[in-house]
Amino acid sequence: MSLYDKVTHWVCLPNEPANGQDGDDDDENNQSTFYVPPPSFAFETSWETYFASQGPPPFGVVMRTLFFPHLTGITPSTTISQPHVDLSPPKRSTVNAHSIIERRPEFSFLAHGSYGATCVPALSALQHWNLLMESSPVGFFYDTLFPYIVRSIRSVSGYVNTEPRNLVLVTNVEVGMESVFRSLDLQAQDTILAFDMTYTAVLYSAQHACDRSGAKLETIHMSSPITRRSGLEDLRMYLDKHDRENEGRRRDEKRRIRLAVFQHITSPTAILLRVKQLIDLCHQWGILVMIDGAHAIGQIPLNLSHLNADFYVTNTHKWFCNPRVARFIWQGTADYSPYLALYMSVKFWDWVGYEKVVERNHALATWCGRLLSRAWGTRLLVEDESMMGSMVTIELPPPPPSSISATKQDTLPITSVSSDTLRNQHGIEIPVFTFRGRQYVRVSLHMYNDERDCVRLGEAVLKGLGYSEDTHPGYALLKGGKSRL
């Protein structure tokens, strides 16, 4: 059996039966009948022992200090000579929740949705896997790599509720989507379909696939206000119109919708779409569906078997807190350590509790959205909380009337708050963007964030716009929000 045949065999094997169930007593036969994971290395065992010996810390600043201590921001004084982050399991003697809260960091990271943030157990695994590879490169690629790649695939499959054989590890969502586009053998009469608010890089990739083949990319305008049903109705209206137009064409002129591409959670607008209904509707028309789930795993419950999309791509480096994949190709080799570290990310999530994190982050996001929209006197991009995950998008307030020049009274007010000013002047990392003529912030809230981060953002925006405490009622509302702390 070739190495690649062995890998396929390992991926497809069923798990060993639970204790007490019937199984083959022959160890050699058991290993060929049931999947037996390779042994953990010592650096993994230390974390597995830690997870088994105690429960996770409180969410918020304690979680951040212990498992995301590297989230300190970059300032002009940041140098590589500063002490490195300790990547070993926290020692019991150093864990004092009260003292941690008292010396709270002055940097709020509310941009997890942009590039993620890696938890310490996964960072530790990443570092050790790199060193392990360098200790014997030939032995690593010949003997070690593939059994542990299979282990990562099998361990993460439970978090997306599908069989391991259905999963392929790729460097990022864009690479996965490009693989799908290239596999379709598009023809000139084919169409790729997407909503107009689809992530720009995805639309570029789809357009490139159409340019190669002569196919056509068509975008559907998602009508406002955006609700649970609006996207579905927009898609249905487009499909009905497409059928009517095809009726008047000759057979060789009829267009075929070959693929529909939808985002599970839109970017940068952070809207949780009802993709199951979109998938089902497209399948009624015989249309293949690919879901861009870059923000899904780690933010919402994910069941790929239930969704039944033809293709689903997601990133583990965003909300699942796994290392980012940086690939450097040389004669077919690559840095696979982020794939191998995925096993430790899974162990971390097993420990903290996936559903517990998802529910807590969603509750924090909806609370934050309500507080800031009231304090700023603005609105949420979507009011329906079922269309939010761990991110919430809030319209920014206009600057004070006195700051708007008379020559611009008839134009939309331009806020003086930007991502750069919030980061450099207030120690808050968060994206600011324009959508349909209005400016918004997208607040990402993960297990290491808490209410204080939201209140800090609310006050920083008002200060950045030039409002004082005696000129804007939002400050009082934000002080009321502090009562929850």
Per-position DSSP letters for 296-336, written without gaps between them = TBTTB---HHHH--SEEEE-SSSTT-PPP-----BTTB---
79 or 179: which leads in pLDDT:
179
470 or 416: which leads in pLDDT:
470
Q: Is the pLDDT of residue 40 over 60?
A: yes
**pLDDT category, 33, cuts 50, 70, 90?**
confident
Domain ranges of the chain: 111-350, 353-484
pLDDT of residue 95: 61
Helix 419-426 and helix 451-465: axis angle, to 10°? Answer: 110
Q: Is the pLDDT of residue 331 over 80?
A: no
Residue 415 CA from chain centroid, whole number: 28
Burial of 267 (0-12, 13-18, 19+ CB in 10 A): buried
pLDDT of residue 97: 63
pLDDT of residue 420: 93
Mode of pairing for the β-strands spanning 288-293 and 311-314:
parallel
For tokens 């590589």, name the residue. Answer: 80
| Cα–Cα distance measured from residue 100 to residue 105, given in angstroms and rounded to the nearest whole number | 9
Q: Is the pLDDT of residue 21 over 70?
A: no
Of the chain, the percentage scoring pLDDT greater than 70 comes to: 87
What CATH number belongs to 111-350? 3.40.640.10
What CATH number belongs to 353-484? 3.90.1150.10
- Give tens-digit pLDDT for 234-269: 999 999 999 998 887 877 778 899 999 999 999 999
Answer yes or no: same fold for 111-350 and 353-484: no
pLDDT of residue 92: 67
Give the mean model confidence (pLDDT) for residues 41-65. Answer: 95
**What is the phi-psi region of residue 332: left when phi exceeds 0, alpha when psi lies from -120 to 50, beta otherwise?**
left
Give the count of alpha carbons within 13 A of 397, CB side only: 25
Q: Is the pLDDT of residue 326 over 50?
A: no
In angstroms, the first-to-last Cα distance of the chain is 60
For tokens 């924090």, name the residue. Answer: 364
Number of helices and strands in the chain (H, E): 19, 10
pLDDT of residue 19: 63
CA dist 249 → 22, 123, 188, 254, 286 (Å): 63, 57, 15, 6, 19
- Give tens-digit pLDDT for 334-354: 789 999 999 999 999 999 999
Residues 360 and 331 sit within 8 Å (Cβ to Cβ): no
pLDDT of residue 79: 58
As a whole number, the mean pLDDT across the chain is 89
Give the mean model confidence (pLDDT) for residues 129-158. Answer: 95
